[in-house]
Structure 1
Amino acid sequence: MAKPYTVSRETIVAAPPERVRALLDDFHSWSRWSPWEDLDPAMQRTYSGAERGVGAHYAWDGNKKAGRGTMEITGAEPERVEVALAFEKPFASRSQVEFVLTPQEEETHVEWVMRGELTAVMRVFSVVKPMEELVGPDMEKGLARLRDAAQEDFAAGRV
C-alpha cells in the first residue's frame, strides 16, 4: 500500500505574480531556476505540446543524478500553476506539483508544493532519507533561484 507524502516550501519575491508565473508556465524558462537542471550538463531535453501553459510538455534524459522523466502543465491560472511529474529513472514515481502565487502589495508569496505516494521502493529508501530531506533542500534552492530570476526580470522591465 502506497504512503502519501507532501513536501512544501515558500518564499517572497519582490516582483508581481505575472512575472513569477512567466518563469513557471514555460518549461524553457526552468533552466534559469530549477535546482535539477544543472545536475547533468549533457542532459537531453525535449519540449512538446503547447509553448506554455496547459498542455506544455517537457521530457528529460540525463545521468543517474538527473534521471529520466516527464512533466506536463495541467493547470495554469493567474495565481496557480499545476504540473504532473513522472519519473522513470532512477525509480518510477508520479507526483503532483503546485505553485501558488499570492500577491502581497508589491511582492508575491510563492508556495511550491509536491504531493505523491511513496511506492514500495521509495518507502524503503525513505527510511534512510525521507522525502522532506530528499526534496526539501532542492526546493529551497529552486525558490531562491526563482526569486532571483523574477526580481532580475522585473528590475529590467521584463514583466
Structure 2
Amino acid sequence: MSSFSVTRNIVIPAAAAEIYPFVYDFHQWTNWSPWEKIDPSMKRTYSGAEAGVGAKYAWTGNRKAGSGTMEIVDVTAPSSIGIRLEFTKPMKAVNPTKFTFTPEAGGTRVTWTMTGDNKGVGRVFALFMSMDKMVGGDFDKGLASLAEAVAAAKG
C-alpha cells in the first residue's frame, strides 16, 4: 500500500488566536475554503457541536465537488486542529487532515496537512497523478484566502 502526504503552509500576519476560529468553526469555511466556489449550488449540512471537537460538516456537490464529511476530532487551542475527512464521491477515502498554528516572527505559520493511503482504484490513480499535484494548489489557494479572511476580520 502506498501512502501520501500533502502539506502547505503560509505565514499570516496575525496571532494564532485570531486565525484559529476560521478553521475551528466549519461555518467559517465558506469564507476561505478553496472548494466552496467549485459548485455554487453545493448543499452543506452542519451537525454535532457548533464548533471544535464533535463539529461535523457534510457536503454534496457536482461531479467536481463530489461529496463527503468532515469532523473535528482533536483540538489543542490555539495550536492544532485535527479533522477526519471522508470522501464518499467520486472515490471513497478517509484522509486525516491537520492544521497547526505556530507563532513566528511576523505572525503565525499555518500548516495544512492531509495524509492517506492509496488503495484499490486510488492506488492505480496514484501511478499517474500525484495527490500533491492534485490537492497542493488548492491548499495554497485556501491558505491565501484564509489570510485574506483574517485580514478582513481585523479591519
Question: Are residues 1:35 and 2:50 paired?
Answer: no
Cα-to-partner distance string for 1:31-65 (whole Å, 9 max, x where unaligned) = 11111111111111000000000000000000000
Question: 2:126 & 2:106 partners in 1: Cα distance?
Answer: 39
Question: Are residues 1:148 and 2:148 paired?
Answer: yes
In structure 2, the partner of 1:54 is 53
Does structure 2 conserve the Cα–Cα contact (< 8 Å) formed by 1:71 and 1:85? yes
Question: 1:113 & 1:107 partners in 2: Cα distance?
Answer: 19
- Contiguous gaps of at least 5 residues in structure 2: none
- Contiguous gaps of at least 5 residues in structure 1: none
Cα-to-partner distance string for 1:66-116 (whole Å, 9 max, x where unaligned) = 001000001121210110000000010000110010012451011101011
Paired residue type of 2:41 = A
Question: Are residues 1:5 and 2:22 paired?
Answer: no
Question: Are residues 1:126 and 2:109 paired?
Answer: no
* C-alpha deviation, 1:128, in angstroms: 2.0
- The TM-score with structure 1 as length reference comes to 0.94
Paired residue type of 1:142 = G
Name the count of aligned residue pairs: 154
- Aligned to 2:122, what secondary structure does the other structure show? helix
Cα-to-partner distance string for 1:101-145 (whole Å, 9 max, x where unaligned) = 001245101110101111221121122211010011110010100
- Aligned to 1:75, what secondary structure does the other structure show? strand
Does structure 1 conserve the Cα–Cα contact (< 8 Å) formed by 2:11 and 2:106? no
Root mean square deviation, CA, Å: 1.0
Does structure 2 conserve the Cα–Cα contact (< 8 Å) formed by 1:47 and 1:58? yes
- The TM-score with structure 2 as length reference comes to 0.96
* C-alpha deviation, 1:153, in angstroms: 1.2
Paired residue type of 1:24 = V
In structure 1, the partner of 2:135 is 135
Q: Stretches of 4+ moved more than 6 A in 1?
A: none
Question: 1:30 & 1:122 partners in 2: Cα distance?
Answer: 27
In structure 2, the partner of 1:117 is 117
- Aligned to 1:96, what secondary structure does the other structure show? strand
Does structure 2 conserve the Cα–Cα contact (< 8 Å) formed by 1:4 and 1:118? yes
In structure 2, the partner of 1:94 is 94
Does structure 2 conserve the Cα–Cα contact (< 8 Å) formed by 1:16 and 1:106? no
